[in-house]
């Protein structure tokens, strides 16, 4: 079994690439979806958010107000770090559970925010860094977005500046240890 992780800035196409891998037989694990589940009403993450940040960060239905939380933590590195300390262990547990149940030979994990010290990194065999031209920076305000991508030494790097067909072609003709056919 090989476990690949795909990382990159917001908006570069991580979901699209991980979906391509999924179509080729990989188990796809989306850490964002895991976090969203944790933030549902009565979710483990919701309880932690309410305990630390207060009920102001919950919606009327009891789920986490992700937009409000995002604004609070992306402008405050200390709050972001505390949030990561609360949430990452739950995400890691769920990822390990999904891996243990996997029937697929290969797994692709879509990681929203790369942190060099994150424990999930110990699970990864190969890193894929997805890049895009500056249109991503123009679309998203990344001025307060903190990541350790500059410290990552990826096994594979994919430039996603064209069409979906271009992206599939790049993956098809890359040096991955498999040759998916499209």
CATH code 3.40.50.300 for 2-172: yes
pLDDT, residue 43, reads: 93
Is the Cα dihedral 9, 7, 127, 19 positive or negative? Answer: negative
* Residue among 170, 46, 20, 37 at smallest CA distance from 106: 20
Q: What is the pTM of this model?
A: 0.82
Specify whether the CB–CB gap between 65 and 71 falls below 8 A. no
Angle between helices 77-100 and 66-74 (to 10 degrees): 120
pLDDT by residue, tens only, the chain of 182 residues? 889 999 888 888 899 999 998 988 899 999 999 999 999 999 999 999 999 999 999 999 999 999 999 888 877 878 888 888 889 999 999 999 999 998 878 899 998 776 766 788 889 999 888 888 765 554 544 544 556 666 778 888 888 888 888 888 888 777 665 544 44
Is the Cα dihedral 121, 91, 146, 174 positive or negative? Answer: positive
Query: Per-domain residue ranges for the chain?
Result: 2-172
Tokens 């942190």 belong to residue? 115
């Amino acid at each position: 079994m090989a476990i690949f992780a795909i990382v990159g800035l917001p908006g570069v196409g991580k979901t699209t690439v991980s979906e391509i891998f999924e179509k080729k037989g990989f188990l796809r694990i989306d850490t964002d979806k895991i976090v969203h589940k944790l933030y549902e009403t009565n979710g483990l993450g919701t309880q932690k958010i309410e305990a630390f940040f207060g009920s102001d960060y919950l919606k009327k239905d009891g789920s986490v107000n992700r937009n409000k939380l995002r604004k609070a933590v992306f402008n405050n590195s200390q709050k972001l770090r505390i949030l990561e300390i609360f949430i990452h262990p739950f995400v890691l547990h769920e990822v390990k559970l999904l891996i243990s149940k996997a029937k697929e030979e290969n797994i692709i994990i879509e990681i929203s925010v790369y942190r060099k010290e994150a424990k999930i990194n110990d699970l990864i065999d190969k890193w894929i860094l997805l890049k895009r031209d500056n249109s991503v920076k123009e679309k998203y305000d990344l001025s307060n977005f903190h990541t350790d991508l500059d410290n990552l030494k990826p096994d594979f790097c994919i430039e996603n500046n064209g069409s979906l067909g271009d992206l599939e072609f790049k993956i098809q003709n890359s040096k991955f240890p498999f040759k998916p056919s499209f």
